[in-house]
């Protein structure tokens, strides 16, 4: 059987960049615990000085294939071997995969070594499993047994499954709130996988975003993360969250990175949130961030050091996952005509060619594209003065408002033109872009020529999910939901007729349900990101029917 995971060597680009603060990155200036159980276990382990190994950071699986899945955990061999410490001995870690939760029918097992060289994280790339089958897995270290995780393989390449269903999330800032969105997805038994579209962690110092008086719980370390030890510590902190642990324990996760896994507005040669004069080499920082990411995430390590790859779900759907940070040119200045320069790129030449070939050559009914930043164009009109300030802070725009958000595909229009032209020239149908980053929920047609839409054609559709916790416009204004955003939403939709729906207030997650007839995104919102016990409720659903290239509203979520 040929591998269902593929990638190719990408091409780098380096161009100088303007500094700008883009926390939400994208689209809307026209609209002018600390986990008690996990920490308790860690504290007790340290206090007693016990040297028995423990699994304080949960278990995870990811990148499922028809015949396999990647398993992950982190073992704490001794009390002093905390994430990023470099302390602790190497030890053997066993793993088992079973057909039942009681592990009476074990189908695969093995041993890997955990050492300080990988921050005592381990991965097992398990093969020889059956397609489209649920499994249980666990790890052992000495007499210590990890929690049992649940995972699922994908359908065989030649089969046509009746459907596939994903949870979809992005943008989880620890200091902004609790990860209740993850808890609600973990509780669902109907998901094949969870797609994380980036900003899994945030790099800021405590009180940097949001400001200190609005912090719900503090980062660790407290300072902005720069070194390998820093990034390991921050990842380790995130993986003590009980809701995040529950998500990974319940479902395989398919993840890509965006900028905050490294630094705000990262490009190939730098970032808005990196000053070489005071913070040293950006290349060294980025290398440390990527190493920690591959250590701590259930993602197959690429020999090219990137996360772009392709997963297949039988003949129903191909999932093309993009890396829009490693190879991009520096962001252009706001309002600069350089956004149209063919020499500038968001994907890099090799990745764009890989994506085009994969889309044109796909025999799947649906072509899903995981893109960390929005591909749909967004034009901005004038706004009331009281809205321009907070939107400028969110989007990195000057106070007067501007026409494009240069960190998303709007800042790299030649790459977008080439990709959308390829879809139309090659008659590639049923392309669905899945996006995070912007801390707002959108349902868009993706027009080939925005200025003449809807009379001109659409090359696909885009479903954008809001943030898990990261601030949106009402959070930045510190006003109730729908107080300021209704004006903004109305203005954006009036200037962009391909935008069918926009929610600038909510936090939550999406559930994408794909069948031969349609792809539907159900949008769910959490009641209060600042509460650990937040409830979740369905908000809206949008779908695209097979062959239409258009978004329409659906009147109920899938069941």
C-beta neighbour count of 127 within 10 angstroms: 11
Query: 């380096």: which residue's tokens?
Result: 14
Report, as an integer, the average pLDDT of 297-324. Answer: 94
* 25 found inside a domain: no
Position 392 scores a pLDDT of 56
Position 6 scores a pLDDT of 38
More confident residue, 429 or 302: 429
C-alpha separations of 495 from 336, 385, 389, 505 in Å: 20, 18, 20, 20
Query: 């650990």: which residue's tokens?
Result: 532
How do 508-514 and 536-545 pair as beta strands?
unpaired
Angstrom distance (rounded) from CA 475 to CA 471:
5
Contact in structure between 392 and 13 (CB atoms under 8 Å): no
Angstrom distance (rounded) from CA 113 to CA 92:
5
Contact in structure between 216 and 178 (CB atoms under 8 Å): yes
3-state secondary structure 187-211: CCCCCCEEEECCCCCCCCCCCECCE
Write out the H or E segment, with its range, that includes residue 273. none
Residues 6+ apart with CB under 8 A from 500: 443, 444, 445, 542, 551, 552, 553
Position 270 scores a pLDDT of 98
Angstrom distance (rounded) from CA 484 to CA 32:
9
Which of the 8 DSSP states describes residue 334? T
CA 111, 38, 258, 439 torsion: positive or negative? positive
How do 508-514 and 499-503 pair as beta strands?
unpaired
Position 387 scores a pLDDT of 62
Which of the 8 DSSP states describes residue 54? B
Contact in structure between 442 and 463 (CB atoms under 8 Å): yes
Three-point CA angle 518, 522, 526, nearest 5°: 170
Position 395 scores a pLDDT of 57
How do 149-152 and 164-169 pair as beta strands?
unpaired
Report, as an integer, the average pLDDT of 6-30. Answer: 34
Three-point CA angle 363, 365, 367, nearest 5°: 85
Q: Measuring CA to CA, which residue among 95, 103, 108, 105 is closest to residue 68?
A: 108
Query: Is the confidence at residue 29, as pLDDT, over 60?
Result: no
Position 383 scores a pLDDT of 53
Query: Is the confidence at residue 281, as pLDDT, over 60?
Result: yes
**CATH code of the domain in which 232 resides:** 3.60.21.70
Report, as an integer, the average pLDDT of 210-224. Answer: 97
Report, as an integer, the average pLDDT of 512-524. Answer: 98
pLDDT band at residue 404 using 50, 70 and 90 as cut-offs: low
**Structural domain that includes position 368:** 36-554
pLDDT band at residue 389 using 50, 70 and 90 as cut-offs: low
Angstrom distance (rounded) from CA 194 to CA 468:
13
Report, as an integer, the average pLDDT of 122-151. Answer: 98
Query: Is the confidence at residue 268, as pLDDT, over 80?
Result: yes
- The number of folded domains in the chain is 1
Which of the 8 DSSP states describes residue 262? T
Q: Measuring CA to CA, which residue among 377, 506, 529 is closest to residue 445?
A: 377
Peptide bond into 221 cis (omega under 30): yes
* 395 found inside a domain: yes
Q: Is 307 left (phi over 0), alpha (psi -120 to 50) or beta?
A: alpha
Residues 6+ apart with CB under 8 A from 37: 242
Position 559 scores a pLDDT of 84
Tell me the pLDDT tens digit for each residue of 431-467. Answer: 999 999 999 999 999 999 887 888 889 999 999 999 9
Angstrom distance (rounded) from CA 327 to CA 338:
17
Query: Is the confidence at residue 323, as pLDDT, over 60?
Result: yes
* 273 found inside a domain: yes
User: Which pair of structure tokens corresponds to residue 105?
Assistant: 């029918």
* 9 found inside a domain: no
List b or e across 482-514, with b for residues whose CB sees 16 or more CB atoms inside 10 angstroms: eebbebbbebbbebbebbbbbbbbbbbbbbbbb
Mean pLDDT of the chain: 89
* 2 found inside a domain: no
* 404 found inside a domain: yes
* 527 found inside a domain: yes
Angstrom distance (rounded) from CA 29 to CA 394:
9
Tell me the pLDDT tens digit for each residue of 35-92. Answer: 323 334 444 344 334 579 999 999 999 999 999 999 999 999 999 999 999 999 999 9
* 83 found inside a domain: yes
């Amino acid at each position: 059987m040929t591998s269902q995971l593929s990638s190719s060597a990408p091409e780098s680009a380096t161009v100088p960049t303007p500094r700008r603060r883009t926390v939400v990155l994208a689209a809307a200036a026209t609209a002018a615990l600390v986990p008690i159980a996990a920490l308790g276990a860690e504290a007790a382990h340290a206090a007693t000085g016990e040297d028995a190994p423990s699994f304080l950071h949960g278990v995870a699986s990811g990148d499922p294939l028809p015949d396999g899945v990647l398993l992950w955990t982190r073992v704490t061999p001794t009390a002093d071997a905390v994430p990023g410490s470099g302390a602790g001995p190497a030890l053997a870690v066993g793993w088992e995969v079973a057909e039942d939760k009681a592990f009476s029918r074990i189908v695969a097992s093995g041993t890997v070594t955990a050492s300080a060289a990988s921050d005592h994280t381990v991965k097992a790339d398990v093969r020889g499993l059956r397609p489209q089958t649920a499994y249980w897995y666990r790890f052992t270290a000495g007499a210590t047994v990890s929690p049992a995780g649940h995972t699922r393989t994908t359908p065989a390449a030649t089969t046509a499954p009746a459907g596939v269903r994903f949870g979809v999330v992005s943008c989880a800032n620890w200091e902004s709130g609790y990860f209740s969105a993850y808890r609600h997805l973990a509780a669902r038994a109907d998901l094949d996988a969870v797609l994380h579209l980036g900003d899994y962690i945030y790099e800021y110092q405590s009180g940097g975003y949001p400001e200190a008086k609005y912090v719900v719980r503090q980062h660790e370390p407290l300072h902005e993360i720069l070194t390998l030890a820093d990034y390991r510590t921050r990842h380790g902190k995130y993986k003590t969250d009980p809701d995040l642990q529950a998500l990974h324990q319940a479902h395989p996760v398919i993840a890509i990175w965006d900028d905050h896994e490294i630094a705000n507005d990262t490009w190939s040669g730098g970032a808005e949130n990196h000053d070489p004069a005071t913070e040293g080499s950006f290349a060294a920082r980025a290398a440390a961030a990527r190493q920690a990411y591959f250590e701590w995430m259930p993602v197959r390590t690429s020999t090219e050091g990137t996360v772009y790859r392709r997963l297949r779900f039988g003949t129903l759907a191909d999932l093309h996952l993009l890396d829009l940070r490693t190879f991009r040119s520096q962001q252009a200045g706001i309002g600069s005509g350089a956004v149209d320069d063919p020499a500038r790129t968001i994907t890099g030449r090799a990745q764009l060619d890989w994506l085009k070939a994969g889309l044109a050559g796909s025999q799947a009914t649906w072509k899903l594209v995981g893109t960390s930043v929005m591909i749909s164009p967004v034009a901005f009109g004038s706004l009331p003065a009281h809205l321009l300030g907070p939107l400028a802070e969110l989007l990195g725009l000057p106070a007067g408002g501007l026409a494009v958000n240069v960190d998303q595909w709007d800042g790299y229009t030649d790459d977008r033109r080439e990709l959308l032209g390829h879809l139309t020239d090659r008659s590639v149908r049923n392309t669905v872009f899945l996006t995070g980053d912007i801390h707002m929920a959108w349902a868009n047609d993706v027009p080939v020529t925005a200025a003449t839409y809807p009379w001109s054609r659409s090359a696909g559709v885009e479903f954008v999910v809001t943030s898990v916790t990261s601030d949106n416009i009402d959070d930045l204004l510190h006003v109730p939901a729908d107080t300021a955003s209704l004006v903004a939403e109305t203005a954006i939709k009036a200037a962009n007729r391909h935008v069918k729906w926009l929610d600038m207030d909510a936090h939550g997650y999406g559930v994408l349900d794909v069948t031969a007839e349609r792809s539907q995104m159900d949008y769910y919102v959490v009641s209060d990101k600042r509460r650990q016990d937040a409830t979740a409720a369905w908000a809206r659903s949008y779908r695209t029917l097979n062959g239409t290239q258009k978004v329409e509203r659906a009147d109920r979520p899938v069941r």
